[in-house]
């Protein structure tokens, strides 16, 4: 966790990913931590998608600052709704939590996964993307039709824990090959990105020769 400037309008940034939608509640405490020295609870949802991170910003202002005193900051509470069964088969990963500043994602995100596209309309025209052969022995051929209008493309291969293993930068809406001959023979994820956003994830199996 990082802490920057804490003033009368503090904010909290959380970067996290989850297998299923998970609502987080955040409040700040000051003084002796009792209700008279707390903000209201702000809530946002981590999008259920492990291929990228949800960036959540909780902004406190005069409408929800309550009795919080920035000069007597005590701690921050981040918690789940106790009335909801959040973790039945779920996975939640936190990249960073910051108070009063916005950290550099590249510095605080060792696995290298991008931010999610939260606009539901952003994926409407993603069609016809192919990766073959699957299973494969040493390489995948990736085809992305120009009709998708995606611009420059980046390919990232991760393991099933979403640790980045290989990256191939910038080809423009055509056919590209990504070689993974040096990896062991297990299942992987091919993440296709444009403008640092994941537009498609394809699982594939690397076979022995």
pLDDT in tens, 74-94: 999 998 766 666 555 567 888
pLDDT at 69 over 60: yes
State the average pLDDT over residues 122-146.
76
Q: What is the pLDDT of residue 96?
A: 87
Q: Where in the chain is the domain with CATH 2.60.40.1930?
A: 120-205
- We find that the CATH architecture of domain 120-205 is Sandwich (2.60)
Strands (E), 10-110: 11-18, 22-30, 42-46, 54-59, 73-80, 92-99
In percent, the amount of the chain with pLDDT more than 90 equals 24
Q: Give the global pTM.
A: 0.56
Please report, for residues 47, 52, 71, 176, 199, the alpha-carbon distance to residue 156 in angstroms, rounded to integers and kept in the order given: 21, 12, 44, 13, 12
Q: Kindly give the residue spans of alpha helices, DSSP state H, lying in the chain.
A: 105-108
């Amino acid at each position: 966790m990082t802490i920057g400037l804490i003033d009368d309008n503090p904010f909290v940034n959380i970067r996290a990913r989850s297998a299923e939608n998970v609502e987080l509640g955040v409040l700040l405490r000051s003084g002796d931590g009792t209700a008279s020295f707390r903000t209201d609870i702000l809530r946002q949802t981590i999008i259920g998608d492990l291929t990228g991170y949800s960036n959540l910003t909780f902004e406190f202002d005069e409408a929800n600052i309550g009795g919080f005193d920035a000069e007597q900051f005590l701690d921050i509470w981040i918690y789940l709704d106790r009335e909801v069964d959040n973790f039945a088969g779920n996975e939640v990963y936190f990249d960073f939590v910051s108070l009063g500043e916005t950290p550099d994602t590249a510095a605080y995100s060792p696995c290298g996964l991008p931010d999610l596209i939260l606009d539901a309309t952003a994926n409407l025209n993603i069609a016809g993307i192919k990766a073959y052969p699957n299973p494969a022995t040493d390489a995948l051929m990736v085809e992305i039709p120009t009709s998708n209008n995606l611009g420059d493309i980046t390919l990232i291969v991760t393991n099933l824990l979403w640790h980045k293993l290989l990256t191939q930068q910038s080809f423009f809406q055509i056919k590209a090959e990504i070689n993974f001959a040096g990896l062991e023979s297990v299942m992987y994820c091919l993440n296709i990105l444009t403008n640092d956003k994941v537009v498609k994830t394809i699982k594939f199996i690397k076979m022995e020769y």
